[in-house]
Amino acid sequence: MKLTRESLLDGTFHAAVRSSLGPGARIISDAERAAQVGAILDRAPRRGRIWVFGFGSLIWNPAFRFVERRTARIHGFHRQFCLWARAGRGSPERPGLMLSLEPGGSCTGVAYRIASRAAPTELDIIWRREMFTMAYRPVWTTAYTAKGPEPAIAFSANRQHERYAPGLADAEVARLLATGSGPMGRCCDYLFDTVEHLRQLGIRDRRLEALEAKVRAYGAAGLE
């Protein structure tokens, strides 16, 4: 299963995820998605300036159309593996973890500017991807870039969601990343791809790099 613009629009990605989640999973409806996109646009700090901040796979597989891309830092949030993955890169038998934003500190990633007229369409695609199970909470924040600050939408953890996994020790996070696997592949590859693309941008995330070393050691010891 691959996450692409096409698979998001034609429903094949959602169908695969839904089958992994089971019949009781709470999934965002079309009406809820449209209402949330409309609401976030209504709250835009600067009309016509729509940026989206990527801290994980949005860095290396955005799947939406944008007109500008900049390295950016946001304040008040940090990157954290704190969402269960029991579909996608995990399964009920081999759960993994996904990144989200947690309060405190700062986070460096990539900000994408979406053309103003395309914002409803492109944000709809992003919502199909990020908000499918509503495990994230979209917020407006400020992305600080080399060309100045820009208003940006970021996706923080929904702390009321059943997927929220707070306070896990680094050793347990490493174990789950090393062993998690699902229809989208291994959870560890999500970590490895994120770290590698951050390095390519000249961004050092020491905690993610330490986790990468632990996960590779876990696999080298034959414990996956």
Q: Locate tokens 């034959």: which residue? A: 222
**From 130, 196, 209, 212, the catalytic residue:** 130
CA distances from 107 to 76, 150, 178, 195 (A): 8, 15, 24, 13
The pairing of beta strand 148-157 with beta strand 50-54: parallel
**150 is an active site residue:** no
CA-to-CA distance for 188 and 154, rounded, in angstroms? 23
Beta pairing partners, 75: 106
Let me know: does 192 contact 214? Beta carbons within 8 Å.
Answer: no
Residues 6+ apart with CB under 8 A from 181: 89, 90, 91, 94, 96, 187
**DSSP assignment string, 182-224:** ETTEEHHHHHHHHHHHHHHTT---HHHHHHHHHHHHHHHTT--
CA-to-CA distance for 108 and 151, rounded, in angstroms? 15
Q: Which residues are catalytic?
A: 130
